[in-house]
Amino acid sequence: MKFSNSPQDVVVTGAGICCNMGDDSSEIRNHVRYAKQAPFEVWQPAVEYGARCNVAGVYHGDVSDAALGITKKEARFMGPPSRRALRAAQIALAESKIETRNLAVIVGSGTGDVGTHCEIHDKLMATRKATKISPTSVPRLMSSTVSANLSSILKSVGPSFTATAACAGGAYNLLLAAQMIQSGHTRAAIAGGTETLDMHFYAGFDAMRAFNSSDNDNPNRASRPYAADRKGFILGEGTGILVLERRDDAEARGAKIHGVIRGFGMSSDGTGSMVAPTAEGAYAAMSQALSTTGCSPDDIDYINTHGTSTPLGDVTEVRAIRKLFGDRHVTYSSTKGYTGHSVSGAGAIEAIFTLWMLNEGWIAPVIRATPLDSELEDYPPLLEPTDRKISLALSNSLGFGGTNVSLLLGAN
């Protein structure tokens, strides 16, 4: 299907990423485009607290007050998630060159600022006095802390809120922003997700045995979607922020358009458990993304899968893809071999990766996937860097509780 460009199209004019590969978009792009090994490391807090898995993807960028250009008054309300989101937003806004006054701000994290919750608990236990709690704690611990801080610092009067949806949170924030632009409630937005490393959050996943605890002595091999010997995912500190606006506004101000959000599908698994995905849920989200935009499976050139590197999740999603695409072998890969799993940041980061591919004519392969899971030998993911013009792609995010989003993204 060939879409005709419309003045009301929701287009992307800026994108910023903070992750284990840094925050330089050119450097990150080179890792993903050319299948370079991305850095993972032994995370010392995991070692100190005796976690089964000691590996993480860590963002080492400077998010100090000086680097971010914020005042001490502004900094009082900002925990680590807000700082990283501001850094990514600054990159996206510099690329877009859009005015921030009327922006909607729809950005969130899966947990808010866990450190503030812990700080309050520790002070209460140590002093038994509520009066010892910092008066700035609520803006740091509230679930909407990231969007609230960004809106305040950017001096935006547009709507501001956070959607939390586990591993699909970043993608949900993007689609909600797109809906608001399409409905006329705003003409532009920054949207996405962020997740920071925190030992309390990390320990919960470790206790579930969701992580790969078999490669503590070989961190750079730990995240390997679709490999026969994959053992679980690696938590990656990551933030993705996109600038969305109407096409006519972007063209009027001469902005570079990186791609279009053509549509989306949403679903819940329904028949699965809290942490065990079903093929039916992923299938429903992808098929809805197609049906609501008038596309057929034959129109899709590529799928950036959720593909976290878990034994069940990876093959379950591919089963859904095979059901939807029938005899056609659609090109697919997972980019979590580069970033690890950034939870609420993942859907936004992967949407950016997919838009780069659409805009620039290349497809990122999965890395460390060989030898492949035997179930995938007749339907393998892309294993080598590939230059190919693509026009339409799906980017999938599948969260705990069966919360699923499939974004339909297009080249400009």
Tokens at 385, concatenated: 């860097």
The tens digit of pLDDT for each residue in 153-174 reads 999 999 999 999 999 999 999 9
Handedness of CA 216, 219, 224, 229 (dihedral sign): negative
* 8 A C-beta contact, residue 113 and residue 200: no
The tens digit of pLDDT for each residue in 209-220 reads 999 999 999 999
Angle subtended at Cα 257 by Cα 255 and Cα 260, rounded to the nearest 5 degrees: 140
- Per the annotation, the verdict on 60 as an active-site residue is no
Cross-strand pairs, 233: 211
Rounded to whole angstroms, the Cα distance separating 412 from 407 reads 15
Q: Which residues contact 328 (CB under 8 A, 6 or more apart)?
A: 297, 298
Name the phi and psi angles at 203, rounded to 5: -65, -35
Model's pTM, two decimal places? Answer: 0.96
**Predicted local confidence at residue 272, as pLDDT:** 63
Distance, CA of 122 to chain centre: 31
* 8 A C-beta contact, residue 337 and residue 309: yes
- Per the annotation, the verdict on 167 as an active-site residue is yes
For residues 25, 230, 199 and 338, what is the CA-based torsion angle, rounded to 10 degrees?
0
**Predicted local confidence at residue 101, as pLDDT:** 97
Q: Which residue has the tokens 């009027």?
A: 252
- Per the annotation, the verdict on 341 as an active-site residue is yes
**Predicted local confidence at residue 366, as pLDDT:** 98
Q: What is the DSSP letter of 365?
A: P
Rounded to whole angstroms, the Cα distance separating 368 from 387 reads 20
Tokens at 396, concatenated: 């999938």
Distance, CA of 171 to chain centre: 7
**Predicted local confidence at residue 412, as pLDDT:** 86
Residue 21: band (very low, low, confident or very high) from pLDDT cuts 50, 70, 90: very high
The tens digit of pLDDT for each residue in 242-301 reads 999 999 999 999 999 999 999 999 999 877 678 778 899 999 999 999 999 999 999 999
Helix axes 145-154, 80-96, angle to 10 degrees: 50
The tens digit of pLDDT for each residue in 228-237 reads 999 999 999 9
Distances (CA, A) of 73 to 61, 270, 349, 409: 22, 46, 30, 39
Residue 150 has pLDDT above 90, yes or no: yes
Rounded to whole angstroms, the Cα distance separating 408 from 214 reads 35
The tens digit of pLDDT for each residue in 76-130 reads 999 999 999 999 999 999 999 999 999 999 999 987 788 887 888 888 899 998 8
The tens digit of pLDDT for each residue in 292-341 reads 999 999 999 999 999 999 999 999 999 999 999 999 999 999 999 999 99
Angle subtended at Cα 275 by Cα 272 and Cα 279, rounded to the nearest 5 degrees: 45
Query: Which carries the bigger pLDDT value, residue 400 or residue 332?
Result: 332
Residue 362 has pLDDT above 70, yes or no: yes
Rounded to whole angstroms, the Cα distance separating 285 from 140 reads 33
The tens digit of pLDDT for each residue in 32-45 reads 999 998 899 999 99
Q: Tell me which of 167, 185, 200, 258 is the catalytic residue.
A: 167
Domains detected in the chain: 10-252 (3.40.47.10), 262-410 (3.40.47.10)
- Burial of 3: CB neighbours in 10 Å, binned 0-12, 13-18, 19+: middle
Distances (CA, A) of 80 to 75, 114, 116, 140, 198: 10, 9, 10, 9, 10
